[in-house]
Amino acid sequence: MKKTVIQLETVTCPSCIKRIEGTLGKQKGVLSAVVKFNASKVEVNHEDNILSDDLTKVIQQLGYHVIEVHQS
Amino acid sequence: MIRWINKQKYILFLTVLFVVSLLLNEVIPHHFLTFTIMTLLTLCAGFHIFKKAIMDIRYKIIGIDLLVTIAVVAAFIIGDYFEAAAVTYLFTLGHVLEKGSLEKTRSALKSLMNLKPKVARRIENKIENMISLSEVNVSDILLVKQGEMIPTDGIIMDGQGQLDEQIMTGESMPVDKTKDDSLFGATLLLSGYLFMKVTHVGEDTSLSKIIHMVEEAQDQKAKTQKFMEVFASYYTPLIVLLSIVLLIVTKDMRLAITMLVIACPGALVIATPVSYVSGIGNAAKKGILFKGGDSIERLAKGKVMFFDKTGTLTKGKPEVKVIKTYDHDENDLLRIAATAEMYSEHPLGQAIVDEAKRRGIHLQDEHLNTTFVIGKGLTFEYNEATYKIGNHKLYDHIMDERVNKDIDYLESSGYTTLIMSQDERILGLIGLMDGLRDHAKDVMNKLDRLGIKERIMLTGDQAKVAHLISKELEMTKTYASLLPEDKAKIIKSYQGKELSIFVGDGINDAVALSYADASIAMGGLGKDLAMETADVVLLGEDITKLSDAIKISRKVRSNMIQNIVFALVVVAILMVGVVFEKVSMSLGMFVHEVSVLAVLMNAIRLLRYDLGGLKNETFKSQSVHQVSPHL
């Protein structure tokens, strides 16, 4: 299992949280996705074979700008 | 940057369209051109809103975007082009402004993050190499020169220096550090030259941990916040229902969609979190870490405070308080004693050396043929005389009644008493005690003024010492000779009566902490356990932060209440206005956006909230070191 932390541009509305968590959560190989509203960060736990690029693409499609990606 | 410029252009473009729409609406309200411009504005401004609304339907979220979309579509159906255009424009503009303000409420943490050092000077085979911070490993030896930032956490191997640790502890006074002392990354070496061994890198450093803790704290939902969110989640669908009912009953589409637009509880949902986020961020900059909104609420409501003594109210190490001599110069006695104790590891010995240094007494390294008598003291030879320094166990019998009386007096007053003799003649007595923290008395007075009803001291120490400290600090009550479980019992007895706050050093207090409603740990920097267990962590050793923490918590709480009340009042006024047909859809949207911005601005005030107080107030200097006049 891997953890990817994605820093987004300021997230402004509470429904953004549901949108991002919902979409990421439905992706194959994603175990959990949590949005930290005030930090504007998404923490994704996922299987090893998932690339962080795929995750950021999903987020960008939702209309959110990705600033930084950190995988550990 | 390009994104930002594009956004500016986009908003400018929309604003031009909006102004043209306004004019056309006045001059040629029913012209084809007017409709075209308004439709263009609605589509351009509303594009993002509609996209999000469609997404929301998929996730079954009733959000503001969906409500606005429904209202806009309905406005088009009834031919109210201007309202549709105005609502989408105001909504988009408001959104951009909100984003800027929200970023501001979170800015305190950003400024901490930007402090992370970028480079380090590593010593490899006696050669200095400038490397990027990411290349630094644990156990590396780094060199830090005057004016540079400590790259990461470590211990001093060699050298000494003055450090500005304000970004970590919030304390502006520089700290002197020397071999074996801990260093924290991102603090500043004001003067000196240090070789340090790296102990922590990356995410394990104190700065990273603090940033992480603040992030967690800002996202931790407080009770009030949860309540507001639950409220909002019922309130929005209820308004949708109300709009439908209005539509069916009155057959007035305009009234129904106006209701929809004002329904969004934007300011309400945002009201509580922004106050916490600003408050937590501001406090972090001052070296006060709140664990979340709940911690703030509980601290703000506390009325009874329990204090651990050693290491909390006192410095946790002995200091020379009294020197009584018998026909011998006081400073000379101290000089001889300090010369003998110069390499002593014993806290009492170190206290004597510190006192000599404080008085500017010059100490010389001399061969004294010292013998340590464990549990009693030491004997040494100096200038062809035999000296002894130690407690009464070191002496068989003291003949001089005057000396015996003084020893009794000192010991019964709670001083640890050392007796010094030269060739069996008693030269003098040194009384030591764990000293109060600087400004402890002022902080206690401040707490009284903040309306703390009782200040209770709980200590495992003996009663004599406890009562002496308690008297000086005018504590309401003092319990001495306590076991950890006794502390817990006493705190428990207050449960359900008054909300309590426990203040400790965060290490031996785990049980006591769990019974108090809120807990504060002092001197938390570098102590992981203390940082984890307490509600509030004061990173530095400065006790004045205690009253600051309580002040901030109350300020944040009242700011949050102001926001909630304001948001509720605005919604209520709007609803009444809509029912009496005084509020149009675009006016409703305008007021809505303005109220969200007002709530944000109010929270931003917390970022600027300066405790002022301690730095500007003149302290009556506490003469901690003053020799007692009793003898």
Contact with chain A for residue B55, Cβ under 8 A: yes
> Which residues are within 8 A (CB) of B552 and not within 5 positions of it... i.e. 6 or more apart?
B279, B282, B283, B286, B288, B290, B296, B609, B611
Q: Quick one: closest CA in A to B49, which residue? A: A63
Residue B546 pLDDT level (bands cut at 50, 70, 90): very high
Quick check: B277 and A38 CB within 8 A?
Answer: yes
Contact with chain A for residue B461, Cβ under 8 A: no
From chain A, the residues in CB contact with B51 under 8 A are 63
Among A57-71, B132-146, B509-523, where is mean pLDDT lowest?
Answer: B509-523
Check residue B508 and give its pLDDT. Answer: 66
Given a cut of 70, is residue B619 above it in pLDDT?
no
E strand map for B78-174: 119-124, 127-132, 141-145, 153-164
CATH of the domain at A50: 3.30.70.100
Closest CA to B74 of B335, B337, B275, B256: B256
Pick the more confident residue, B542 or B233: B542
Check residue B343 and give its pLDDT. Answer: 79
Residue B231 pLDDT level (bands cut at 50, 70, 90): confident
Check residue B375 and give its pLDDT. Answer: 79
Quick check: A40 and B106 CB within 8 A?
Answer: yes
Closest CA to A34 of A63, A5, A67, A9: A5
Q: Say how many CB pairs under 8 Å bridge A and B.
A: 50
Q: What is the pLDDT of residues B387-409, one digit of tens each?
A: 999 988 888 888 888 999 999 99
Q: Which two tokens stand for residue B495?
A: 């449960």
From chain B, the residues in CB contact with A40 under 8 A are 106
**Residue B98 Cα distances to B94, B112, B233, B601, angstroms:** 6, 23, 21, 10
From chain B, the residues in CB contact with A37 under 8 A are 219, 273
Quick check: A19 and B55 CB within 8 A?
Answer: yes
From chain A, the residues in CB contact with B65 under 8 A are 15
Check residue B627 and give its pLDDT. Answer: 35
Place of tokens 């707490």: B447
Gap from B39 CA to chain A (nearest CA, Å): 23
3-class secondary-structure state, position B532: helix
Domains recognised in chain B with CATH numbers = 1-105 (no CATH), 118-211 (2.70.150.10), 281-308+438-554 (3.40.50.1000), 315-436 (3.40.1110.10)
- In the annotation, is B505 catalytic? no
Q: Which pTM does this prediction carry?
A: 0.79
Contact with chain A for residue B116, Cβ under 8 A: no
Q: What is the pLDDT of residues B426-441, one digit of tens each?
A: 999 999 988 888 899 9
Number of neighbouring beta carbons within 10 Å of residue B24: 18
Mean pLDDT of all residues in A62-67: 86
Gap from B559 CA to chain A (nearest CA, Å): 18
From chain A, the residues in CB contact with B269 under 8 A are 14
Given a cut of 60, is residue B631 above it in pLDDT?
no
- Specify the number of domains making up chain A: 1
Which backbone phi and psi does B29 adopt, to 5 degrees? Answer: -60, -30
In percent, how much of chain B has pLDDT > 70?
94
Quick check: A18 and B59 CB within 8 A?
Answer: yes
Quick check: B52 and A63 CB within 8 A?
Answer: yes
Q: What is the pLDDT of residues B550-598, one digit of tens each?
A: 999 999 999 999 999 998 899 889 888 888 888 888 898 899 889 989 9
Q: What is the pLDDT of residues B143-180, one digit of tens each?
A: 999 889 999 999 999 998 999 888 788 777 788 888 88
Residue B4 pLDDT level (bands cut at 50, 70, 90): low
* Domain enclosing residue A36, as ranges: 2-71
Check residue B628 and give its pLDDT. Answer: 37
Residues of chain A whose beta carbon is less than 8 angstroms from a beta carbon of chain B are 10, 12-15, 18-19, 22-23, 36-41, 62-63, 65
Q: What is the pLDDT of residues A16-53, one digit of tens each?
A: 887 888 889 888 889 999 888 888 889 999 998 888 88
Catalytic option among B308, B406, B442, B542: B308
Q: What is the pLDDT of residues B341-358, one digit of tens each?
A: 887 778 888 899 989 988
> What average pLDDT is seen over chain B?
85
